[in-house]
Amino acid sequence: MTDQSPTFPDYFEKVAGSASFDRDGAFKFIGVRAFVMSAATIADLMDDFYLVLGQRFVDARLYMGGRRAGVRTAAALVAAQKLDPRDKPNIERLFADFYAALGWAKLDFHLDYANKTGHVIAQNSFLAQGALAKFTAQGKATSVANVTAPFARCVMLGGYIAGLTSNLLESDVDMRETECLTLEYPGCRFEVTPERLYTVKRET
Ligand SMILES: [Zn+2]
């Protein structure tokens, strides 16, 4: 949701203003120890994972990890801001501002609350822009038998967005990335899917 209506507080400045620089190297963001790394370096690390472990395994691991973190963080953010869980526009705004301030992406929620479905558009995904910024000696990122063609790079973000969307819809949903910057779309699109993605037994 990109509505800039003053009805909903702007959380961006509050979050961005929490960055705490430290000469001893203990940089913090929202009170959490953090660090800065270029998106291209992340893409470089991701390429190594894809090359060694294969796309299917890496995507599954990143999606599940992202989803668990997204579920926990969504609940913590709503509680920390003392928001009414029924106040969906305000919570959408909180999530959008928070992840924009973190530099992950600008999230635009298009959810159908009655039918517990919909999609999310992510502008400026750090994973996709990192992959696009990175060039190897061969002129492109990951190049190995099972991932030679360009592919959607934002599965970790997808898992995270699934966690946030599950909080909003009050229903356990999964989301699949159907369009990605790396596939020459203008942004990354994540669709609620009825199919369970990468679920493992005993996962909570
Ligand atoms: Zn993407």
And the tokens for 18? 């929490």
Task: Give the residue carrying structure tokens 């190995």.
Answer: 144
pLDDT of residue 167: 97
Separation of CA 165 and ligand 1 centre (Å): 17
pLDDT band of residue 100 (cuts 50, 70, 90) is very high
Separation of CA 127 and ligand 1 centre (Å): 7
Separation of CA 69 and ligand 1 centre (Å): 19
Alpha carbon distance 62, 65 (integer Å):
5
Separation of CA 22 and ligand 1 centre (Å): 32
Separation of CA 150 and ligand 1 centre (Å): 11
Share above pLDDT 70 across residues of the chain, in percent, rounded to a whole number: 87
Task: Please name each of the domains of the chain with its CATH number.
Answer: 38-193 (3.30.1380.20)
Separation of CA 82 and ligand 1 centre (Å): 31
Against a cut of 0.85, is the pTM above it?
Answer: yes
Model confidence at 63: pLDDT above 70: yes
Alpha carbon distance 78, 20 (integer Å):
23
By mean pLDDT, which of 63-72, 98-107, 121-130, 137-146 is the weakest? 137-146
What is the rounded average pLDDT for all residues in the chain?
89
Count of all residues that appear for the chain in the document: 204
Separation of CA 155 and ligand 1 centre (Å): 7
Alpha carbon distance 28, 20 (integer Å):
5
Q: Region 38-55: what's the mean pLDDT?
A: 89
2 or 199, which is more confident: 199
pLDDT of residue 51: 87
Q: Region 127-148: what's the mean pLDDT?
A: 71
pLDDT of residue 202: 58
Q: How many other C-beta atoms can be found within 10 angstroms of the C-beta atom of residue 92?
A: 23
pLDDT of residue 196: 83
